[in-house]
Structure 1
Amino acid sequence: MNLIRTTSENIDFTNLVKSLDQDLAIKNGDKNDFFVQFNKIDLIQHVVVAYDSEQAIACGAIKEYDKETMEVKRMFVLPHMRSKGIAALVLNNLEKWAKELGYKRCILETGEKMKEAIALYKKCNYIRIENYEPYKDVIESRCFEKKLK
Structure 2
Amino acid sequence: MTVTIAIETPLQDDVRAMVADLNAHMIPLTPREFQFQLTVEQMAEPTVTVLVARNEAGRQVGMASLKDHGESLGEVKRMFTLPEVRGQRVGTKLLQRIESLAREKGISRLVLETGEAPGFEPAWRVYERGGFQVCGAVLDYPDSGFSRFYEKNLA
With normalisation by structure 1, the TM-score equals 0.90
Q: What residue ranges of structure 1 are gaps of 5+ in the alignment?
A: none
**Equivalent residue, structure 1, for 2:11:** 9
Q: 2 CA distance for matches of 1:12 and 1:99?
A: 28
Q: What residue ranges of structure 2 are gaps of 5+ in the alignment?
A: none
**Equivalent residue, structure 1, for 2:21:** 19
1:33 CA displacement: 4.0
**Equivalent residue, structure 2, for 1:145:** 151
**In the alignment, is residue 105 of structure 1 matched against residue 104 of structure 2?**
no
**In the alignment, is residue 127 of structure 1 matched against residue 133 of structure 2?**
yes
**Equivalent residue, structure 2, for 1:89:** 93
Say whether the 8 Å CA contact 1:62–1:71 is kept in structure 2. Answer: yes
Deviates more, 1:8-17 or 1:108-117: 8-17
**Equivalent residue, structure 1, for 2:78:** 74
Q: 2 CA distance for matches of 1:98 and 1:134?
A: 20
Q: 1 CA distance for matches of 2:38 and 2:144?
A: 15
Say whether the 8 Å CA contact 2:77–2:112 is kept in structure 1. Answer: yes
1:137 CA displacement: 2.4
Q: 2 CA distance for matches of 1:26 and 1:139?
A: 16
Q: 2 CA distance for matches of 1:10 and 1:90?
A: 19
Say whether the 8 Å CA contact 1:106–1:146 is kept in structure 2. Answer: yes
**In the alignment, is residue 64 of structure 1 matched against residue 68 of structure 2?**
yes
Q: 1 CA distance for matches of 2:149 and 2:16?
A: 24
1:76-128 Cα deviation digits (max 9, x unpaired) = 00011101100000111011001101111110011112111111111000011
With normalisation by structure 2, the TM-score equals 0.86
Seq. identity, % = 26
Aligned residue pairs: how many? 146
1:6 CA displacement: 1.9
**Equivalent residue, structure 1, for 2:52:** 49
TM-aligned CA distance change 1:70 to 1:41, over 3 Å: farther
Q: 1 CA distance for matches of 2:99 and 2:12?
A: 20
